[in-house]
């Protein structure tokens, strides 16, 4: 699995919004995309947002391909690797790996559907 940041965000947008951006603050679909980044401006409540708002990816600085790899490992091999092994696998330090695992454990309870759909999308080959 070697997806780019852009491909990962596309997958997440398709899963969360079905291709139509939806404001996480007011639930409006009246939005304008920013030209230089993958963010949107809500024309109803005048906030800006990205697809990661309200998910386990919100306010992290870890690249999406690394998150996707961790999700793949976490779901396919639960409890089969240590934080240090994970850190080595995705090239982050152990504190970042621990932080990512804690977010994933929380997401299992709070957003299991998103994780399941992401796991399916990660394993699907894209041509």
CA atoms within 13 A on the CB side of 69: 18
Q: Choose among 11, 14, 50, 45: nearest CA to 30.
A: 45
* pLDDT tens-digit map of 58-114: 999 999 999 999 999 988 887 777 899 999 999 999 999 999 999 999 999 999 999
The maximal CA–CA distance of the chain, rounded, in angstroms, is 46
pLDDT at 18: 93
Residue 122 has pLDDT above 90, yes or no: no
State the pLDDT at residue 2: 64
Predicted confidence (pLDDT) per residue in 1-47, tens digit: 568 999 999 999 999 999 899 999 999 999 999 998 899 999 999 99
Among 122, 119, 61, 59, which Cα is nearest to 92's?
61
pLDDT attached to residue 82: 87
pLDDT at 127: 39
């Amino acid at each position: 699995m070697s997806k780019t940041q852009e491909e990962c965000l596309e997958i997440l947008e398709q899963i969360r919004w079905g291709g139509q951006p939806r404001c996480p603050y007011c639930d409006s679909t009246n939005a304008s995309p920013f030209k230089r980044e993958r963010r949107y401006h809500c024309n109803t409540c005048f906030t800006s947002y990205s697809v990661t708002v309200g998910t386990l990816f919100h306010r992290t600085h870890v690249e999406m391909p690394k998150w996707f790899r961790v999700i793949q490992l976490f779901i396919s091999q639960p409890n089969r690797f240590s934080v240090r092994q994970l850190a080595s696998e995705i090239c982050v330090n152990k504190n970042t790996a621990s932080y990512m695992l804690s977010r994933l454990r929380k997401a299992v309870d709070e957003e299991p559907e998103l994780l399941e759909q992401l796991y399916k999308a990660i394993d699907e080959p894209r041509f």
